Structure 1
Amino acid sequence: MKKKQWQGWGPDEQAEQHYLVQPRALAGGGDVRHVSEFLRASGWRDKSKTGGPLRMESPDRTVRIAYDPYVLPGGWTIHGHADGANGEWSAHLGRQTPAEIVAGLTDALTRPCSAHAPNVWAPLQEQNWHTRFEGQDYMATSPDGTAWMQYRQSPDGAAMWWTGAQDKQGNGWTANFTPNTPMHLVQAFSTELASPDPVMRPRGRVPHSAQIRTWSMSVKPSQLSAWQQARITAARAATWARNSARSTRPRTSARPYTPAGGARTRR
């Protein structure tokens, strides 16, 4: 286990032990606030009841997100209403889906859709995932074999995206997206799923798995708070910029008034 020590903290704070975990897909659920605080900073409404599961709603009320750890199997449910471009859609992600990977999808819900055509497989191929056909299905597997993404199609024509991660002891998670899920959201999820960057977990929250690598690091509360605040600040800034752009957008000029008898030509 490698040791990393961060420098430059104040003398009065007590460092706490954390771990960087890789691959991220096997790092466990993590802190739900990584998702919820970003959404709040982006203008989403918190519909949660005290002591109950997390429930959030988009500013336009077209998307709802819930996280419920109190039921089995528990986890994330994301539901989008039908609009002019897409039909109704939903995504279900297991409780141990890392919050950083969930945030790939939920963060994308706060941003305008890119003009470029989405490609779910591109982020996976860029990280050397093995892609292939398996009968009617198309499959991508991580280089270490612990994570996968699959577009499944049953004989009756029903289709869905199925993804997840599992170690040799059987620990892990699965998630699925209905076919109508906007492709840019699935691509945002696959980008975070394939990312080689480790994620951080506090001591006692690191899964027991022979297939993860960990690096010990000392983190002071102020440093951890600053990292979290930077993400929230970025969300607020992006939301402010979008709202400002809408409010300053020029209105279409009204047509000049023309008398009912038509315009007169001056001679």
Structure 2
Amino acid sequence: MPKSAPSGSTVVAGLQAMVSRLAAFLRAADAAVDAWDLYSDEHTNLDGWPYDPESYDDRKAVRDHVVWRAFEPVSEEAGVLLDAAEADLERVPSLFATHADNLDLAVARRTVTANHIAVTVTDSRAEVSEPEKPRVLAQVTPRYLACGGDPRWVTAPLQKAFRWQPAHIPLSPVVRLTRRDRQAELLLSPDPDEHWWTLHHTGTTAGEKAWTMRFGARTPAEIVAAATDALTTGTADSAADPTQVLEQAGWKRSVLEHQISSPDGFVTVSRHPLGALHIEVTAHDGPWASGPAAPTAWRAYFSDRTPPHLAAAVLADMVSTEPLLRDEKEMALFLRYSVRIARERVPTHQAEYALWERVDRLAAHLTGTPLPPQPPGGSLPRRSR
């Protein structure tokens, strides 16, 4: 390592070469930071959240590695340069003051940066002593592109409030809930090649025909819950054509009278002359796409005997402007290109409170027991379950 110059002296062997290497480092660092800024702008949303957090962190590690490697040639000379700069500060303060501060900062950060790169290369994370930040949820619209969400929004009220019976299959991810009269059944089967949600009714001896509603994997749980809520608490009074709900919300029928589409073009609802409904929801395939395109987000199918008030409840939930709460990092990447996310985030515990308040209110509706009014400022704290 070169020896430091005596105090007050700037006569250091090879000083000019050291300064040149310092200048080369600063140019390389500026280029790396500029490249990072460009990458960050292209791979984050308006709130600064990365579309793909894992790739984003990997790219950040590459940036740090490049800067550290550029600093290596001058790292051993930093003390010499600082001594020389301090000796000349009185003579030319404006020239060296800023560089001295920057170099001192670089020296101070060198060990931390090197450790960070070593940890990144070995793919192991060092434990950070900072307190963990509380998780928050994004408010996402439109609802039909908010991804699956929490399936308990559907299953918890059926089991806790309406006492549908679970039929658990050991070591299986399938969830099956059956109504006590065994005429209705909800099946959650996480099969990527089939519908995830199936609501089936066997029909009744009074003449009601069997019917089935099926929903794809990325159907928001709240939309599926609109059907189960209508089945358990709703009245059968509804227009014969449930798509009237969409027309009232400003959706437009195509030249083919049996199709109606959302204003943004992402949703198409087709109604068969005998009454069956098909729903297809698509999304942008990239951040710069100018119109809706593949891939398909989710599909749904309602058989021709499905009660109109159930179908109308689903469509009404789809056109609702109320945002859904989602963990943005868990959303499918292509869906993030098509949704709108509010700047204000919501703590995760608020969604948990809302879930169990929903269960209590549906149970109260069943028994006719009114709940106390919600206090100002949000939901009541929940008991442990």
TM-score with structure 2 length normalisation?
0.55
* 3-state SS, counterpart of residue 330 of structure 2: coil
Residue 179 of structure 2 is matched in structure 1 by: 58
Identity of aligned residues (%): 25
Residue 17 of structure 1 is matched in structure 2 by: 136
1:148-187 to 2 correspondence within 5 Å? 148-153=268-273, 160-169=276-285, 170-187=295-312
Moved more, 217-226 or 57-66: 217-226
Shift in alpha-carbon separation, 1:21–1:73, aligned structure 2, 3 A: same
Give the count of matched residue pairs: 228
1:5-154 to 2 correspondence within 5 Å? 15-40=134-159, 41-50=161-170, 51-83=172-204, 84-132=206-254, 134=256, 138-153=258-273
- The unaligned stretches of length 5 or more in structure 1 are 4-11, 243-267
Residue 327 of structure 2 is matched in structure 1 by: 202
Provide the C-alpha distance between the structure 2 equivalents of 1:234 and 1:105, rounded to a whole number of angstroms.
17
Indicate the structure (1 or 2) with the bigger Cα radius of gyration.
2
- The unaligned stretches of length 5 or more in structure 2 are 1-45, 49-130, 286-294, 370-385
* 3-state SS, counterpart of residue 226 of structure 1: helix
* 3-state SS, counterpart of residue 137 of structure 2: strand
Q: Read off the aligned partner of 2:164 and give its amino acid letter.
A: W
CA deviation map 1:152-190 (0-9, x unaligned): 24xxxx762101210132140111111011111111111
Provide the C-alpha distance between the structure 2 equivalents of 1:178 and 1:150, rounded to a whole number of angstroms.
12
CA deviation map 1:71-91 (0-9, x unaligned): 523411111112224211112
2:280–2:296 CA contact under 8 A, matched in 1: no
> Structure 1 or 2: larger helix share?
2
2:238–2:312 CA contact under 8 A, matched in 1: no
* 3-state SS, counterpart of residue 168 of structure 2: coil
Residue 262 of structure 1 is matched in structure 2 by: none
Q: After the TM superposition, which parts of structure 1 deviate over 3 Å for at least 4 consecutive aligned residues?
A: 114-119, 216-222
> Structure 1 or 2: larger strand share?
1
Greater relative contact order (CA < 8 Å, ≥ 6 in sequence):
1
Shift in alpha-carbon separation, 1:215–1:114, aligned structure 2, 3 A: same
